[in-house]
Amino acid sequence: MSQDPPRIVIAGAGHAGGSAAAFLRQYGWKGAIVLVGEEPNAPYQRPPLSKAWLKGEATAESLALRPARFYAQQTIELRLGTRVGALDRTARQVTLSDGAVLGYDRLILALGARPRALPLPGAELAGVKALRGIADADALQAALGPGRRLAVIGGGYIGLEVAASARALGAEAVVIEREARVLARVAGHTLSAFLAAQHWAHGVEILTDAQVAAIEGEAGAARAVLLADGRRIPCDAVLVGIGAVPNSELAEAAGLDCAGGIVVDLAARSSDPAIYAIGDCTHRPLPLYGRSGRLESVPNAIEQAKQAAADICGRPPPSPEVPWFWSDQFDLRLQMAGLAFAAHEVVVRGTPDAPGFAVFHLDAEHRVLAVEAVNAPADFMAGRLLVAKQARVPPATLRDTTQPLRGITI
Ligand code: FAD
């Protein structure tokens, strides 16, 4: 049944959900918007949680996606501390954890992802932490400081960022990575090696090819990480950073197509025409690469929020964006664009033993598939454009640091 006035319910008040509400108003949606979020906070940015917030360098205001007054000004109803518990597609309604039943004309699922749990003995001990929300970051910060030792399980971006922040807080940090190198899933060898060296230089110990067997406790609190080869890594706290799992159960239970994430098209439409899905909970097309997959990034959350809002408001779809991501560790700004599937050749511009270089991943025809830049924002911007254009560039041109990339003709 249609609502009067027409109503959009957004389930999940994170980066994607909060952005969708704002774009809907910007694109002219005049009906009701109800933003339902499980966390007690209005939409906020997660990236600083492992960086500036953890180091005590950010404020609640700087974390907020929009000022508190924005939602009242834009007539966006916030229902915080409330979970969407069930979805009835036939009746077009959702049931909330406070018992309320909300009808919708359009539903946007912006449910995010949650940290993957460590399925090992000791994972339940006090001091074993994961990082997704403000409360997690505050609990982690309380466990860090001079004289404390943090063991980070997982050498992905979040693990490395937390290790860097732990050092800034005066704690010792050791990163335990199962693969042969850090960032094995998301970065090329050159960047992995550079970052590992930077971490060592800042006092972070990095253990690779290291399989965790268990966490050992004393009086209910974590005291060491035990490795499969018998090594024992003493610690006072453990951060488990082994990836995220999409929150797609609500959609699965309602019979929407899911494939390790809610399956959507380039307008963020799910398999139900009245339901959209955006952000970390989706499995989306990657048109530049002729495949589909999950992206966990702020730019992706914003892009899909735009796609859904544009489709609902009858506007032309936004042009597809190149997937991109950033990370801050120590005094390094990392910026990555594109995905290096099927890379044939790697070209380094600059010197990777000093910050201020970029790595280009090319296919067999010298098409630029991806760029990874370290303290090299101009090369990143130019590289991102080359990826978007699927430009073919001779490796010698990319290597030549005497010529700015911005000006090259393709
Ligand atoms: P989220 O922001 O997770 O929001 C989903 C919300 O939905 C959550 O508040 C959740 O509680 C709520 N929810 C879930 N289920 C329900 C339900 N049933 N009912 C109601 N509410 C529900 N990305 C970058 O691009 N650069 C970075 O440097 C970077 N750093 C990061 C650092 C950390 C520590 C983390 C955790 C993430 C980082 N990311 C970074 C990733 C980025 O923050 C996410 O990709 C982005 O937040 C995704 O937005 P989202 O709205 O899909 O999910």
Q: How far apart are CA 122 and CA 363, in angstroms?
A: 44
pLDDT of residue 260: 95
Say if ligand 1 is within 6 A of residue 18 CB: no
Nearest CA to ligand 1 atom 9: 14
**Which CATH topology does 331-407 take?**
Enolase-like; domain 1 (3.30.390)
The mean per-residue pLDDT over the stretch 219-243 comes to 97
Q: Cβ of 110: how many Cβ atoms within 10 Å?
A: 33
pLDDT bucket at 410, cuts 50 / 70 / 90: low
Say if ligand 1 is within 6 A of residue 84 CB: yes
* pLDDT tens per residue, range 359-390: 999 999 999 999 999 999 999 999 999 999 99
Interhelix angle 157-168/189-201, nearest 10 degrees: 20
pLDDT bucket at 352, cuts 50 / 70 / 90: confident
pLDDT of residue 67: 96
CA proximity to 111, closest of 91, 136, 94: 94
Mean pLDDT over the full length of the chain: 96
Q: How many CA atoms lie within 13 A of 265 on its CB side?
A: 9
Report whether CATH 3.40.640.10 matches the domain 7-114+245-312. no
Nearest CA to ligand 1 atom 45: 297
Ligand 1 atom with least separation from CA of 18 = 51
**What is the number of H-type helices and E-type strands within the chain?**
10, 26
Pocket probe for ligand 1: among 280, 303, 334, 384, the residue whose CB has the most ligand atoms within 8 Å is 280
CA of 302 to the centre of ligand 1 (A): 11
Let me know if 207 is exposed, middle or buried by CB neighbors in 10 A (0-12, 13-18, 19+). middle
93-96, strands of its sheet edge to edge: 84-88, 93-96, 101-103
Nearest CA to ligand 1 atom 3: 112
Following DSSP, what letter does each residue of 29-41 receive, concatenated?
Answer: --SEEEEEESSSS
* pLDDT tens per residue, range 31-89: 999 999 999 999 999 999 999 999 999 999 999 999 999 999 999 999 999 999 999 99
Pocket probe for ligand 1: among 55, 82, 264, 297, the residue whose CB has the most ligand atoms within 8 Å is 297
Ligand 1 atom with least separation from CA of 43 = 9
Q: How many CA atoms lie within 13 A of 342 on its CB side?
A: 11
Let me know if 81 is exposed, middle or buried by CB neighbors in 10 A (0-12, 13-18, 19+). middle
Pocket probe for ligand 1: among 9, 10, 15, the residue whose CB has the most ligand atoms within 8 Å is 15
Share above pLDDT 70 across residues of the chain, in percent, rounded to a whole number: 99
Residue 107: pLDDT above 90?
Answer: yes
- The answer to whether residues 134 and 113 touch, using CB atoms and an 8 Å cutoff, is no
The mean per-residue pLDDT over the stretch 287-309 comes to 95
The mean per-residue pLDDT over the stretch 302-325 comes to 96
Nearest CA to ligand 1 atom 14: 111
pLDDT of residue 25: 98
Residue 1: pLDDT above 70?
Answer: no
Say if ligand 1 is within 6 A of residue 250 CB: yes
The mean per-residue pLDDT over the stretch 118-131 comes to 97
CA proximity to 278, closest of 6, 13, 74: 13
The mean per-residue pLDDT over the stretch 275-289 comes to 96
Say if ligand 1 is within 6 A of residue 54 CB: no
- The answer to whether residues 230 and 120 touch, using CB atoms and an 8 Å cutoff, is no
Amino acid at 237: A
Say if ligand 1 is within 6 A of residue 63 CB: no
CA proximity to 222, closest of 114, 116, 115, 120: 120
Following DSSP, what letter does each residue of 348-363 receive, concatenated?
Answer: EES-TTSSSEEEEEE-
Strands 368-374 and 237-240: unpaired
CA of 132 to the centre of ligand 1 (A): 7
Say if ligand 1 is within 6 A of residue 336 CB: no
Q: Do domains 7-114+245-312 and 331-407 have the same CATH topology?
A: no
Pocket probe for ligand 1: among 298, 304, 326, 334, the residue whose CB has the most ligand atoms within 8 Å is 298
pLDDT of residue 288: 87
* Bridge partners, 152 (sequence order): 175, 239
Q: How far apart are CA 221 and CA 128, in angstroms?
A: 8
Provide the terminal-to-terminal Cα distance of the chain, rounded to the nearest Å: 54
H or E segment at 186?
A: none
The mean per-residue pLDDT over the stretch 330-344 comes to 91
pLDDT of residue 213: 98
Q: How far apart are CA 92 and CA 80, in angstroms?
A: 21
pLDDT of residue 409: 63
| Domain locations in the chain as residue ranges | 7-114+245-312, 128-242, 331-407
Nearest CA to ligand 1 atom 53: 112
pLDDT bucket at 4, cuts 50 / 70 / 90: confident
Q: How far apart are CA 410 and CA 394, in angstroms?
A: 10
Least confident among 221-235, 323-337, 349-363: 349-363
Q: How far apart are CA 346 and CA 356, in angstroms?
A: 17
Residue 194: pLDDT above 90?
Answer: yes
Q: How far apart are CA 61 and CA 64, in angstroms?
A: 5
The CATH superfamily assigned to 128-242 is FAD/NAD(P)-binding domain (3.50.50.60)
Pocket probe for ligand 1: among 83, 111, 252, the residue whose CB has the most ligand atoms within 8 Å is 111
